[in-house]
Structure 1
Amino acid sequence: MDTRILCNFYRCTRESILTGCITAWYGSCTALNRKALVVKTAQNITRTELPSMEDLYSQRLRKKSLRIIKDPHHPSHKLFCLLPSGRRYRSIWTKTTRLRDSFIPQAIRLLNT
């Protein structure tokens, strides 16, 4: 089969299945679990470089958080409040790593970088 067709198929399939709700599950995965997500198999089959899960996660996280910031009627909109400088967002104080690795704190850290 043509390499371009295989590459397109695996990219679309992987991105749609794994990233359907990546912002919900990827942040709370351990490093071992993230490495267990086999992406290299698709790269070996297509013989091309596919974007990493970390890149996809940060892209989706940024896109989703910007959508929440733009929508004042979103329930999580009030959690994204700017500091007095107007450049950075106020970080949420978290006591547990489970909360620290959830969507809102990670999105704020990503937007502040």
Structure 2
Amino acid sequence: MVQFYRAVIESVLTSSLTPTQKPGYKESSGQQSGSSAAPCPPIMDLHSSTTINRAVKIADDPSHPANSLFNLLHSGQRYRAIMSKTSRHLHSFSPQAISLLNNS
């Protein structure tokens, strides 16, 4: 049951989730009904860790098409924020990933 959850449900949730829920957001009962042996992590933690992992892989791979979006500043510790004029772009993967990388 846990393996099915991680393979199917968790992958769908993390690929299409945007971080718009508030920190006190309570997950749906569908996520909490998994096996009692292995508790499922909260959705926002899954989203953050998955986004950071994907962003690090993109930033480390110079052949990736989105590699040019992940530019380090002169300090070498933070990434350059992407300017966006619309909220649709602001809530897309790259600006959200850069924000998470800079805040972690």
Name the TM-score class by shorter chain: 0.7 to 0.9
Percent of aligned pairs with the same residue?
40
Distance 1:95 1:65, change over 3 A: same
- Greater fraction helix: 1
- Mapped partners of 2:71, 2:31: distance in 1: 40
Q: Which has the higher contact order (CA 8 A, sep 6+)?
A: 1
SS of 2:74's equivalent in the other structure is coil
Quote how far apart the aligned CAs of 1:12 are: 4.1
Give aligned pairs, total: 100
Quote how far apart the aligned CAs of 1:30 are: 5.1
**TM-score normalised by structure 1 residue count:** 0.71
Q: In structure 1, list runs of 5 or more residues that go unmatched.
A: 1-5
- Mapped partners of 2:87, 2:33: distance in 1: 35
SS of 1:111's equivalent in the other structure is helix
Q: In structure 2, list runs of 5 or more residues that go unmatched.
A: none
Quote how far apart the aligned CAs of 1:52 are: 1.3
- 2:52 corresponds to 1:62: yes
Q: Which runs of 4+ in 1 moved over 6 A?
A: none
- Contact 1:91/1:108, CA 8 A, preserved across alignment: yes
- Mapped partners of 1:86, 1:30: distance in 2: 29
AA at the equivalent of 2:10: E
RMSD: 2.6
